[in-house]
A and B are shown apart, each in its own frame.
Chain A
């Protein structure tokens, strides 16, 4: 791009515009991140401030030999994959439906954002309460409908706990996708869809060949930002299961958090967090490279 290279000479202006954001971010996030990254090289245990031996990459080696790290990593993969996928599918479906016209559409649009408007603490507690073995509404309804013969301990089994927590997070997050995709859908020119319909394209074909390509960029950006968000979100799991039973709902950030706040092993926790960041970076770079042209990065 010629104009771009011409503009590149005015170097100082863009940096001035960026300065406030850079300063604030550097002070409030970058500095603590750098400190934490530095900590990962030490056996830094919070309650031993006088004895902080240097380990080099010792904490990282420890992670690779730690079975709980691998369990947590695998759970994280399942967690991110399932949560993002189902949030997206449900959000997409909701957006497609809300893009139709019906008389109570604006009410429906406002109501579906309610889950997003609640703090995670409340969400975690309410869902735990609903899953309760004894007083939970899930068991009660399913028993009344005759779907199950006896109550299920949803949050105390190896097979149901992770899915149960995933469902809670899907509920919390699908409105985000619904809102973003709905907005994207408004931009799809209706002439295109009509033309496709006249050409005999069936609804699914129209979705695949006309609608989806048009909203692809919005979807991709939303997916990227959401993946990062979900990868790091642990408050709902923490409230609902604390990572249990056993290690069934340990995800990587949760494990790092427990190592830091319970065992107070900040050095090791920092190493775990850095590994998580590095893995996410791979995802992001793959995305940025692919999207570089479209996003004009």
Chain B
């Protein structure tokens, strides 16, 4: 929490005003009871009406000053608190947008969103509370105690009694309840889990007619939650009556002690009333601070979560300017590339080498976990190779400026991802200067033209946040069009065709040939049919290259590849394919 306070630095002068205003407010508020005591002692007792009026006027003056300073401090608390939250939010966003895939994987999108919004809100709320309470309560506490002792020194032990009983009861209640809060949170999470399961498994639950079983599970947790809730409330609700008893008790004590001291000094008549009010302020301050101690741990959790993000230094360093001159001709080259996750023993990729030339398609195939997707993500430096070298157009990727490298790459991710806007803004996402002609051509090649033309406003049709208003296949085709529209040197399709049906897949690959004469095409695929025609197929198994060549070459010599083909083709088809391979035909 306090680590984040570095973001308060630009607002130091506002903070100073805030502290001053708070000080003035506390002092004026606390002067009032003293003046009232004066009215009783020097006005009422001797019967001096003029004194009463004059002091009354002073009190009004103080009340007005108090209100004004209170307004000023509230204003600055809100101002500083919200500016601070804005800066923290922006820092988080900037950091996250520069994360690489490793960082993203570690945090998960959902948790990053919570960190940017909810956690910052939590911190903002507590920060404003700290301004309001943490500054005020200690001031109140100290000044009240001083003034109380000044007004009635013989009664000051009552402050101790009041403070100790308030703190004692707060500690008692908290120590009973705090440990239960964790269990409470767990039960709430479990309720949510069961509900979520019942929602996502709606059809399965109904198919097996297991509503009763599910309800039983739910009821068990629900009952446990109810019991715990009643327990927590039972203890927490002790607080109010206890505080009431303590407040009334100390007030009574003040009166009683004050009256018994009257014989010593008649001024106690006014003083005991003022004193009772000071003691009230002291106890209030303790209460306020204990409230903060309840809030603080929660905000601290949030602050930690924010710091985790801010602490993360980007692992990949980009050159500001490309260092060297890349070749004109497109080419991707891997030289003995290794990749392994930080702190992992096993390599995800080991000693991968290949060359992908312009005008050719290089495909990667292998079972889940073989590392094919990781491999392809090394090219745009979403991950950083741990050993070996990757060259693009003859120049190591580490020598490129980020934008210079990215403009050469047309990347299509596994899941089609769109952004709120229009069809047009999505296709031109990576090439804002593209002409409408280019855009239409890209859509046509990506097999998206048909459905776009059917949309009510064609290319100007609205795409909602995350592209939820188009189907999965349409999303995928639009993301392919987006990559095409960039006219990149290198196309990367990270398993981008799996969401398409075989027919569209085939048509798209056919159309793609039209624009990939001088481009490198890298494809990760699940289906053999998608990559059968590739000039080069790289077969991966457990992160190693176990075969390289064309479809027919690999059928002949690569066992892993044979297995893959066998699992996807019928026996008869497999036999024909094998026969073709044995004949040595190079035609696919």
The answer to whether A and B interact is no
B: residues with CB less than 8 A from A are none
A: residues with CB less than 8 A from B are none
